Chains A and B, each alone.
Chain A
Amino acid sequence: GEDVEQSLFLSVREGDSSVINCTYTDSSSTYLYWYKQEPGAGLQLLTYIFSNMDMKQDQRLTVLLNKKDKHLSLRIADTQTGDSAIYFCAGLDRMEYGNKLVFGAGTILRVKS
């Protein structure tokens, strides 16, 4: 099954770029995801990348996938105070009768003004 690990905490200044890293174990994961959780709220899907891609860009978000090293990163350009949240990396564990998301422990992003 899939196992996902992330760095636990990142602090940046407003306007800087943030890079959140994640490693996964299951090379057969078809999709890899980034979710955002704001305080007291549910999870919001930010972006995802298909395993045959190396990079995906969506406005201020850039996802890089290194399949050889099983490493996924999320870069947030021009980080704003509203980006302060917990960011979860997730891999899709394919099972015989269904698929399940396996989440990393989450990275707390703190943006200082």
Chain B
Amino acid sequence: DTAVSQTPKYLVTQMGNDKSIKCEQNLGHDTMYWYKQDSKKFLKIMFSYNNKELIINETVPNRFSPKSPDKAHLNLHINSLELGDSAVYFCASSQDLGLDNEQFFGPGTRLTVL
């Protein structure tokens, strides 16, 4: 049983296109996150949602729009893709916003913008 799943695993697209990455967790968690890992493996948080509400937005361009239709899903839509958006995007979830809650990560989506 997959705890945190993401689709697609790989995404190759042209500059200027709009694309979405989906994330689902079956852990019953309240909080979900999106992280971006660049080519140098540097990992940085983009967004966090708690109970479908945006909690953290780390100065991400507004071309990135997360959407949480329910607590189990946090999708990431990206408009007008740029070369610099090429990265691996990880979704994660945790029980809630508590300090001692482990974050469970999905397998990642490798986005390549040509």
Contacts and interface: CB of A to CB of B under 8 A. Distances in A.
A103 B99 contact: no
A101 B45 contact: yes
Interface in A24-50: 30-31, 37, 40-45, 48, 50
B45 A41 contact: no
Interface stretch (A66-74, A76-84, A91-99): A91-99
Contacts of A105: 40-42
A101 B103 CA distance: 9
A42 B108 contact: yes
Contact of B50 (A45, A92, A98): A98
B103 to A, nearest CB: 6
B12 interface: no
Contact of A103 (B42, B48, B100, B107): B42
A40 B97 CA distance: 28
A32 to B, nearest CB: 12
A23 B102 CA distance: 21
Question: For chain A, which range describes its interface: under 10, 10 to 19, 20 to 34, or 35 or more residues?
Answer: 20 to 34
Interface in A6-29: none
Nearest to B107: A42
A48 B90 CA distance: 20
B96 to A, nearest CB: 10
Contacts of A88: 43
- Which 9 A/B pairs are nearest by Cβ-Cβ distance? A98-B55, A42-B105, A43-B105, A103-B43, A42-B107, A106-B41, A100-B45, A30-B99, A98-B97
Interface of A: 30-31, 37, 40-45, 48, 50, 86, 88, 92, 94-95, 97-103, 105-106
Given A37-B41, A100-B58, 10 more contacts: A31-B99, A43-B92, A44-B105, A50-B100, A86-B41, A94-B99, A99-B99, A101-B103, A105-B41, A105-B42
